[in-house]
Structure 1
Amino acid sequence: MRLRNLIILTVIVPLFFILVVFSLLAITTLEENMRSKLETEVEIITHALGTSLGHAMARDTPDSIQDTLQSAFSFHRIYGAYVFNTEGEEIYGLGLGEALFKPEDIRAVVDSGELTGAYRDHDDWTYYSALMPLTTPDGEVRGVLQVNRLNTGVENYSHFISLVAGLVFVIGALGIVFSLWWGFRQFIERPINRLLGVMASVEGGNRDRRAAVQGPEEYRRLAEALNGMLDAMAEKDADIETRRHKEVELERRLHKSHKLAELGVLATGVAHEIGAPLTVINGQAQRLARRETIGDDERARLGRIRGEVERIVEIVRQLMELGRRHNLAKEWHSLDELVATALGLVEDDIERQAIEFETDLPSPPYTLLANGQQLIQVFTNLLRNAIQAGNVSNIRLTARATNTELRLWLEDDGPGIAATDRPRVFDPFFTTKPVGQGSGLGLAMVHRIVNDHAGTIGVIDSSLGGAGFEIVLPLAEPARDPSITPSSSTTFFTNSMNRGSLT
């Protein structure tokens, strides 16, 4: 059942019923009071006249009877006065209503000896008549006095009151109905419909819709509560979405870490197989280059062979580094010193290209527990990656620390990273540089080092307009995987190549 119908049934209908009953009782009580007042007045006048007429009839003087009857009309609204003998015959009378009673009615009053009153209709008029026995001072009943009073004034007055009361009731009822309807529509139905509209809009997918805080206090509080609930839901949804993205990102990074680990295992096996051949090639090329019988052109070609062999060695070494997690030897380092050391390694390239380098680091200088050499490699690789991007004039490094983590942002104003390339920038061998100018292992190595420190790294939109990287390092001691350690193949490969290079 709708609230409006419920209010009609529980409020308006009982209210109207009470008003009708109260009005009827009020009008009935008013009429009864007026009738009682009329009857009392007529009986008092009748008593006053009856006493005088009793003395006049005792003296048997018609003039006294006539004068006494005429004096009755000095009372207001007395319209008839008659004197009858004991047989019911009229002796003298004045005014209206002489034929209201029959002779037997008159004789009944003589027999009873008491004053009686009754309402009688005659010639479309309604009278209230009082009949009183006329007794002499010695107690003898000589006749009956009839005093008549029209009830027309009382009826008109009570009818007028009834009409006024009915009109007031109808107007009041209509006013109450209209007031309740308007008040319900303005202050109940419309605010509720607004709230329902907001709920329907939110249900339809418009999560940004909010209720207007207006109207009566209760609805303002209800709107504020609804908005608070929707804001809390929006925050929860945003938090859930953020966590979902983080979970997807962590899953992607975990998958990448697994791929790197598998790649390291493969690289270890490859290093074991190609270590000896590369050592032989490098040694033989070195011996040939020492002979005096060969020309400069041949010596240059042998030098190129040795360079390419060393390049292969470096690539294999980097692959093995990618594929295993290191037991990090951590010490306390100043972030400012690590950044300054990395900057010193690429300072010549920065000056040569006239690149402006900005830093925004915590003050006082922040210290962190980490492997300093590897973090320097992270900063160096990222700086070189920005320098080699081309058309870069500004590089900025920003750091902020909380109680649980350190966040670093390295940004440049270069051409940036295409959206299609962002998911693959940390993949081994992925590079946008021409063939022979990059191995595609620099960012992969950065990713591995950050993972070794139990941190995360990702590509962001740079405020400078170019490429941007965000690094998050936990301040707590990261967990280590003791199952992954340097392999004997790695040691063998490294030692073999060292021996070859010294041959």
Structure 2
Amino acid sequence: MCQNDSASVSMTHFIQHNPPRLLTMLIASVVIPVTLSLGLIGYLGIDWLENQTEQRMREDIELISRSLKEPLNQAIRTNQPELIQQSLNSAFAFGRIYGAHIYGRNGQLLAGSGAGVQRFSEQRGEALATLDATGDGYAALGSDPIHVYFMPLTTAGGRFAGLLQLTRHPDEFRDTLSTIRTTGAAMLGGIALLLALIVMLGHRFAIGAPLRRLERSMQSAGDHELGYRVTGSGPREIVNLSKGINTMLMQIESSRKLAAVGELSAGIAHQLGTPLSVLDGRAQQLLRRTDLDDHQRSSLEAMRAETRRIADIVQRLMAFARSMPLQPTLMRLSTAADHAIERMSHAPEAKNVTLHKHLIEGDPPIKIDGERLEEAICNLLLNAFQAAPNGNVYIATAKKAEGVTLRIEDDGPGISKEDQEKIFSPFFTRKPVGIGTGLGLAVAYGTLRAHGGRIRLIQGSLPGACFELWLPTNPARK
């Protein structure tokens, strides 16, 4: 048992590390089954043809015997040997009749011609013993290809007078079938070789060559780092595979860039945090003095405002850079959206914006880090408020296959096509200096990926931007 288990494990290990080639699998899964199917169909067809032909031969010999019965009965009744022989000779006009004989009550030969005089004595004896004056019989002599038909002949009183024996030999047809079988086997082998050749050529030019080009491109991608893009040509599946690989390379490249920027951001935020706190504290101390004039006090207030703005940027950098694990709890996406809406309702940017809320009830609780997800939703709402300062913003949740979605869209000017591929990159923004940091969407993107979800820009019902967040109901464990 141990040896068998060891052999099975070794075979499994060999197959895993030495998988069969695609061409081998095509031959095994296409050429061989097609060849075997054609062979089975041909065998069954020939077998059916042989059975049908034998049945037809049996029917023919029965018809011939019945056509001779009355003339022979009449000749026997009138005792005309010449007429008996003439009737027997007429049987050969039907073709493939090899013998026609008449035997008396005791088995003696009365008349006949052709093959079969000395043969079938046992079968004649059985026929004489079993056939009555109104019956007839057909005998196929085992594996012998000769067919014999026995028919009784009667006198004027209806008594048994003799036995008609017709012999038919189907060698010609069987030889033809044998030739067909041999030729069919040879043709089947030729078809198998032709199919194998067609599959090999088709694989080489339609599949193998594009796959080799794709393989070379992937090797080049590895040599030239992630900035290289593979080129795929040929069947649609290979082209789609190339696009998928390029998308994967872009995501990996983006993830690496985000990680590098995150490390840099974390360092900058850490270095700026303490000096900003000191600067803000000193400004507060100076503002407590009573001998300051209005200009000095205004300058200190402006200094504190700028300090707070820098501190806000530092906080965003920290949020973008932090790699702390999620702290998920069971929470509804609609609840997180409600909390984010409440937080943003007091923002100055929301003052003249009409917010339309369509949050479904009864959406399933999912495991999310509520604080970080609310922050991501707040960033999207803030972008929407800034894009449509006097317009409409819609936020809605919905159930989807294996997850829930949240959409935020506005009726602002939208995002240009040339910017759509850059919007999730850190520090990318089209807002005026001092208005945005370019980290809001990057933070939202990182948060959704950390949850096993996604965020994407889609076409909404409004002319502006529409962002869709999707979160899985059962996120994969990491």
Taking structure 1 as the reference length, the TM-score comes to: 0.46
Larger relative contact order (Cα-Cα within 8 Å, sequence gap ≥ 6):
1
Taking structure 2 as the reference length, the TM-score comes to: 0.48
Larger Rg: 1
